[in-house]
């Protein structure tokens, strides 16, 4: 694994444990020689994970839209900052640069980015491991929803498994080293 994308909040969250785990993830990734690909911000958990990776000697690439750069939320100390014209281009570029995805707590944007990659896996467009680093049970309700979706017949168990879950940084890094199952069309049993 060379380049790991981290999707996470542009806010730090209300519990210091989110910041602690973001710092640990950034440091551990850099220490293991993984490059960090992320949304390019200096704010929230995004800034925390980037700063920790940089301080540990890692390579950090941010991908951000022109609009967000103009709003002055871009991190100016990165190894590389790529600027895109749209959010869709931003997400596609992060996917191009990444071998796997780790998801830290975040809001709508974090879930948007994450479920787009999961859907691309489901459709066979990419084959990228996606692991939720479930800090303090933050993603419990989301995984209950996934189980409910399987039970209701909207998501197959095979495709539900595309959303993996870890509770520690070490578990998350181990999980992203295993590629998802080969593509299986969602329309066929």
Per-residue pLDDT at 21: 98
Higher-scoring residue by pLDDT: 28, 183 = 28
Per-residue pLDDT at 182: 81
What is the Cα–Cα distance from 126 to 147, expressed in whole angstroms? Answer: 23
Per-residue pLDDT at 183: 77
Give the rounded percent of residues in the chain with a pLDDT score beyond 70.
Answer: 97
For 24-70, how does the pLDDT look when each residue is reduced to its tens digit (9 = 90+)?
999 999 999 999 999 999 999 999 999 999 999 999 999 999 999 98
Per-residue pLDDT at 1: 62
Mean pLDDT score of the chain:
94
Residue 81: strand pairing partners? 62
Residue 82: strand pairing partners? 63
**DSSP 8-class letter at 35:** E
Find where tokens 């992320």 sit: 38
- 99: how many CB neighbours lie within 10 A of its CB? 17
Q: Would 162 be classed as within a structural domain?
A: yes
Q: Would 189 be classed as within a structural domain?
A: no
Per-residue pLDDT at 187: 60
Q: Would 185 be classed as within a structural domain?
A: no
Range of the domain at 171: 3-176
What is the Cα–Cα distance from 47 to 37, expressed in whole angstroms? Answer: 12
Q: Would 33 be classed as within a structural domain?
A: yes
Residues 79-96: what's their mean pLDDT?
96
Query: Cα 168 from chain centroid?
Result: 15
**DSSP 8-class letter at 14:** S
Write out the DSSP string of 113-178. HHHHHHHHHHTTS----EEEE-GGGTTHHHHHHHHHHHHTTSS-HHHHTTEEEESSHHHHHHHHTS
What is the Cα–Cα distance from 115 to 85, expressed in whole angstroms? Answer: 21
Q: What is the pTM of this model?
A: 0.95
Per-residue pLDDT at 181: 82
For 130-140, how does the pLDDT look when each residue is reduced to its tens digit (9 = 90+)?
999 999 999 99
> Which domain CATH number covers 93?
3.40.50.450
Instruction: State how many domains the chain has.
Output: 1
Q: Would 67 be classed as within a structural domain?
A: yes
Give the rounded percent of residues in the chain with a pLDDT score beyond 90.
Answer: 89
Q: Would 113 be classed as within a structural domain?
A: yes
Q: Would 182 be classed as within a structural domain?
A: no
Query: Taking 90 as the threshold, does the pLDDT of residue 184 lie above it?
Result: no
What is the Cα–Cα distance from 43 to 52, expressed in whole angstroms? Answer: 13
Tell which residue, 89, 84, 88, has the closest CA to residue 70.
84
Residue 115: strand pairing partners? none
Q: Would 25 be classed as within a structural domain?
A: yes
């Amino acid at each position: 694994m060379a380049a790991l994308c981290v999707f996470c909040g542009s806010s730090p969250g209300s519990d210091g444990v989110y910041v602690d785990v973001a710092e640990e993830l950034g440091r551990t990734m850099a220490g293991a020689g993984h490059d960090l690909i992320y949304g390019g911000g200096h704010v929230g958990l995004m800034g925390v994970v980037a700063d920790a990776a940089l301080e540990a000697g890692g390579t950090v690439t941010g991908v951000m839209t022109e609009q967000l750069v103009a709003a002055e939320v871009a991190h100016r100390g990165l190894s590389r900052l790529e600027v895109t014209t749209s959010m869709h281009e931003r997400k596609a570029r992060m996917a191009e640069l990444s071998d796997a995805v780790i998801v830290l707590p975040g809001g709508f944007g974090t879930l948007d980015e994450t479920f787009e990659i999961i859907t691309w896996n489901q459709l066979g467009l990419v084959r990228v491991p996606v692991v939720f680093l479930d800090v303090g049970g933050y993603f419990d309700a989301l995984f209950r929803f996934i189980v409910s979706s399987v039970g209701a017949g909207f998501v197959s168990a095979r495709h539900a498994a595309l959303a993996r879950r870890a509770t520690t940084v070490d578990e998350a890094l181990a999980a992203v080293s295993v590629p998802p199952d080969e593509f299986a069309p969602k329309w066929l049993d």
